[in-house]
Amino acid sequence: MNETEVLILGNSQNNATEKTILGDFQEYSTTIEIGDYSFEITKRLFINYIEPLINMDGYLRIGDLLYKVLKIQTFITYQEFWLYLLDRQSEVV
């Protein structure tokens, strides 16, 4: 498992870091439709599941980039997150 540092920012991209975790950050390619909008999912993240740490309103910082969580799948021992790379990186604190 690739151990990448992930900063959980909570429900706002401008929030301070709520928690730092390690996860397996991978390339991925799919499109997800939400209402009338389509989002290109280019990354996914796997973390060990001990307790709910990230929700559908959540933002994550991985390296210098900011992602929005668009899908969560919970399994017995891990969670999978589909991540959308935000277009306006320069505006994020």
| DSSP output for 36-91 | TEEEEEEEEEEEE-SS----TT-EEEETTEEEEEEEEEE-SSEEEEEEEE-S-GGG
Confidence at residue 93, expressed as pLDDT on a 0 to 100 scale: 41
Confidence at residue 1, expressed as pLDDT on a 0 to 100 scale: 59
Domain 4-91, second-level architecture: Beta Barrel (2.40)
Confidence at residue 16, expressed as pLDDT on a 0 to 100 scale: 74
Confidence at residue 89, expressed as pLDDT on a 0 to 100 scale: 63
> Tokens for 40?
């290109």
pTM of the model as a whole: 0.82
Confidence at residue 25, expressed as pLDDT on a 0 to 100 scale: 94
The tens-digit pLDDT sequence of the chain (93 residues) is 569 999 988 776 666 778 888 999 999 999 999 899 999 999 999 998 877 777 777 889 999 899 999 999 999 999 999 999 997 764 444
Buried b (16+ CB within 10 A) or exposed e, 24-60: bbeeeeeeeeeeeeebebebbbbbeeeeeebeeebbb
